[in-house]
Amino acid sequence: MMWLGAAIIILTSTGVGWELSKRLERRTTLLRHMKVALETLDTEVTFAMIPLWEAFEQIAKQLPAPAKDFLNGVSTRLKDNEESTQQAWEEELNNWRTDVDLDAKDIDILKQFGQTLGRQDIEGQRKQIQLTQAYLETMEQTALETQKKYESMYRSLGLLGGLLLVIMLL
């Protein structure tokens, strides 16, 4: 019975370490997806000249969740004409932020972009998109460096922490 408890402790702590390392990976991936979404939005704004809700809907079809969920939410809010573009972006961002592994800085970058969304002419909007892309690129590089630095450490500490706890309890 004691060995079963020890195995459960080790497996649980190892699982926690793996989950922490997966959070780092999910953040990097999501930043990359949001950057791709903005690249596509830049193209849609420049060449297609379709309403924003339709652009977000088309972009969402090309992305996996959770970026897809966010853009679909914004698109739905805009299509229903419930609120302005800035309000729809910010409300959906506030709802979405609890479900994703982005840092506060990442959310702030997206929030700042949402405040400029739909307020400028095409050239001004393109500049805002490109600026936000540059910020997201920087955050993605930082996230990738953090992931490389801490991913294996979290996994190892999960296992070793569980072993230490079992040894202390024996």
Q: How does pLDDT run across 95-148, given as a tens digit for each residue?
A: 898 889 898 999 999 999 998 887 878 888 889 999 999 999 999 999 999 999
pTM, entire model: 0.86
Asked if the model's pLDDT at residue 59 lies above 80, the reply is: yes
Nearest Cα to Cα of residue 162 among 21, 9, 16: 9
> Are 66 and 96 in contact, with CB atoms under 8 Å apart?
yes
Rounded CA separation 85/105 (Å): 21
Cis peptide before 64 (omega within 30 of 0): no
| pLDDT tens-digit series, residues 68-81 | 999 999 999 888 87
